[in-house]
Structure 1
Amino acid sequence: MEDIVNEVISPEDIMKFEAKYKKEEALGEVDNITAFEYAWCLVRSKYKNDWKKGVEILERLYHHGDKHAKRDYIFYISVAHYKLKNYEEALKFCHAILHVEPQNHQAKDLEKLIKKTEKKEAVTGMAVVGGASLVVGVGVAAIGAIVAAVAATRK
């Protein structure tokens, strides 16, 4: 699953699919396949703004696109939210797939990855907070010692 969420597409490929999308958009109607291909490229980009734009297109497709492709739309929305570190949203979309397809291995694997990443980031966050607290505590103790030393020399 990490291969899927970490896959990065070349900027040239994104531009190729974007050009096709924009051309159809200018003509007044974007084919669902063209929109999906472009959104899929955006989700695999290395840029956060592309991930967000990919989510917008995929959500539009979910509501107005091919009924039979809804699972794919939801899956890549979940991947994009994972990359955006919107873990609750990513899990919500994973659970939507699993509600309909309880044995869907991709959704199960993505769900495990999201939960593992959440747990890892929570532990890292606690370590950072703990380290910062220690630094503040040592700093306060040092200031206290300096004040006490200065007070002792004035007596």
Structure 2
Amino acid sequence: MEETQLLLDDVVQPEEIQRYRAVYEKAAEAKQLTDQNKFSFAYCLVRSKVKSDVRYGLQLLRELYDGTRNDDAKRDYLYYLALGNARLNEYETALKFLDAILLIQPGNHQAKNLKEEITRRMTREGYVGMGIAVGAGALLVGGLTAAALALLKK
């Protein structure tokens, strides 16, 4: 489980993204782009701090997924699509990708672990979000009560 947390929180340095981008663009320019070049660049991008990089990485992964008939490759692409969406806090989308893996491979520990971690984060962030909403609601009610009391005293 700790490994999954580290994977979700791993951030690639901008220099590494540039290095992979250069390899990807050079191969594309020479019309020698392979699925491995594309995947390496996409995987690098989904670990970026920059959301637009993550989204571009997801786009490349989707293209790879759509372009292969290899079931093992499809499973890997689905996993990294889930990872990238989770990094964008698009948890429901991430869970759909993981459920697709688990439908075919119910014993896939990697997908199970990522699903558990995403569910844990959803729960934690949901409670945090609810706590903020409850706190804001309490402040509003308290403010309205104080205003009403002030009016009654006049």
- TM-score (structure 1 length as normaliser): 0.92
Distance in structure 1 (CA, Å) of the matches to 2:60 and 2:68: 10
Distance in structure 1 (CA, Å) of the matches to 2:34 and 2:66: 14
Determine which of 81, 88, 91 is the counterpart of 1:87. Answer: 91
Identity %: 35
- Unpaired runs of at least 5, structure 2: none
Q: Where in structure 1 do 4 or more consecutive aligned residues deviate above 6 Å? A: none
**1:60 pairs with 2:34:** no
**1:115 pairs with 2:119:** yes
**How big is the alpha-carbon RMSD for the aligned residues of Structure 1 and Structure 2?**
1.3
Give 2:85's aligned amino acid.
Answer: H
- Unpaired runs of at least 5, structure 1: 151-155
- TM-score (structure 2 length as normaliser): 0.92
> Partner residue of 1:141?
145
Decide which moves more: 26-35 or 43-52: 26-35
Determine which of 13, 25, 32 is the counterpart of 2:28. Answer: 25
Distance in structure 2 (CA, Å) of the matches to 1:38 and 1:10: 13
Give 1:53's aligned amino acid.
Answer: Y
How many equivalent pairs are there?
150
Q: How far is 1:26 from its partner? A: 2.1
- Tell me if the contact between 1:32 and 1:65 (Cα under 8 Å) persists in the aligned partners: no
Which one has the largest radius of gyration? 1
Q: How far is 1:27 from its partner? A: 2.7
Distance in structure 2 (CA, Å) of the matches to 1:7 and 1:138: 42
Measured against aligned partners, the alpha-carbon deviations of 1:60-99 in whole angstroms (never above 9, x if no partner) come to: 0001146242111111100011011111110000011111
